[in-house]
Amino acid sequence: MNRLLPLLLLVFLPLTGHAQVEVSEAAAAIHARTLTLDTHLDTPAHFARPGWSIMQRQNYFEDRSQVDYPRMLDGGLDGGFWVVYTPQGPRDDEGHAAAFDHAMTRLIEIRQMVARNHRHFELALTADDAERIVAEGRRVVYISMENGYPLGSDVRLLRTFHRLGLRMFGPVHFANNELADSATDPGGPEWDGLSTVGKAMVHEANRLGIILDVSHASDDVFDQIIDLSVAPVVASHTSASAIYDHPRNLDDARLQRLAEAGGVLHMNAFSAYLVPTALPPERREAFRDLGQEFGDFYALAGERLRAYMLRRAAIESDNPVPVATFDDLMEHLLHTLEVMGVDHVGIGLDWDGGGGVEGLWDITGLPMITAALLDAGYTEEDVAKIWSGNVLRVMREVERVAAGLQAEDD
């Protein structure tokens, strides 16, 4: 597959909304021949938007989207883990039923996207699928789940999602649920880590061959999953507390423990987790009013979308907050590499879920990361591990453990 031409163009051409991209021809060539996977793509949130298509080039400053097929070509992104995200809601039977329906709908939308565009995308189910799919000229679609809220208290539902393609699972998001405590629940811990149901979930994920994802989990949940899991785990989109002390980030001791357990930390690009970004009350109120006036952002199209984006830009201009830069992102990334080693760090930038930094607002700028890693002294082999080799190594081990557990069951 010839990926080199669009990447080489990035050496010389500025991108809309970006600073001039400084990527040498040598770095662009290395990026072009590297299998590149991002472990946290929230892009499925756009799949049902009116008039939105993964096959059409979008613009972040016009619709807030950051990933589509033309930009995957430009940025040399081969695919990754496409997220089934469910916002936390009421923790009762009705709420859990609605969450299950939402998650199932989102998963089906991912599969429908692949089916409609089968010449360009393919659903991946095993670690070995990724290299084959890319060699055949398509983009890789693994399915992950962010927030185990759709399971309620029934871990058996993991089997249903696994049969439909789920291969990575994060048990919790911004708030506590029936499985685990969140790192950011305003009420603090409820279970002091995993609930009894959450502990059963760890064993079920190991048995099925689903990678466990500790992003958004409390420190106690992190510790307990590491203790309980018989397969390595990942943090699909998390940053370093040593650089910015935020509850969503991991301290050096836990980074080291994750590495010692064979896991991988995938670097996030969410500004609020990279640098302090306190929001002025006026900005919060303005965005609340904007949401009440326009309703569901993902239902907007045409003139109404353009009106929303103009109003949003005005609010951001009138009430600015600090925004992380590409240098901030690299500071976190290089720190985790120093602490954990090159075999235990990857990329999960939270595209379409709030990720993006000044100078890297969408995936077209991804060769900058490869260039920065090379400039920092990492080799092409190292870069390949960071972009995909490490997560695929974890996935192979998760598959091996699952095969053994299933054989014991038989």
* Structure confidence by residue, pLDDT tens digits, 77-108: 999 999 999 999 999 999 999 999 999 999 99
**Which pLDDT value is given to residue 410?**
76
From the number of C-beta atoms within 10 Å of its C-beta (0-12, 13-18, 19+), residue 347 rates as buried
Predicted TM-score of the model (pTM): 0.94
Domain ranges of the chain: 11-277+322-409
From the number of C-beta atoms within 10 Å of its C-beta (0-12, 13-18, 19+), residue 136 rates as exposed
Percent of the chain with pLDDT over 70: 95
Cα(170)–Cα(146) distance, integer angstroms:
5
**Which pLDDT value is given to residue 5?**
34
Q: Which residue has the tokens 């077209």?
A: 364
Average pLDDT value for residue range 178-201: 98
Cα(77)–Cα(70) distance, integer angstroms:
10
Cα(148)–Cα(272) distance, integer angstroms:
23
Q: Over 90: is that where the pLDDT of 215 sits?
A: yes
**Which pLDDT value is given to residue 409?**
85
**Which pLDDT value is given to residue 253?**
98
CATH fold for domain 11-277+322-409: TIM Barrel (3.20.20)
Q: Over 80: is that where the pLDDT of 403 sits?
A: yes
CA dihedral of 311, 313, 318, 319, whole degrees rounded to 10: 110
**Which positions ≥6 away from 286 have C-beta within 8 Å?**
315, 318, 319
Q: What angle do CA 239, 244, 250 make, to 5 degrees?
A: 40
**Do 211 and 218 form a contact (C-beta atoms < 8 A)?**
no
Percent of the chain with pLDDT over 90: 93
Q: Over 50: is that where the pLDDT of 15 sits?
A: no
Confidence of residue 12 (pLDDT cuts 50, 70, 90): very low
Q: Over 80: is that where the pLDDT of 216 sits?
A: yes
Q: Over 60: is that where the pLDDT of 7 sits?
A: no
**Which pLDDT value is given to residue 16?**
36
DSSP per-residue string spanning 162-174 = HHTTEEEEE---S
**Which pLDDT value is given to residue 6?**
40
What angle, rounded to 10 degrees, do the helices at 326-340 and 367-375 form? 50
pLDDT, averaged across the chain:
94
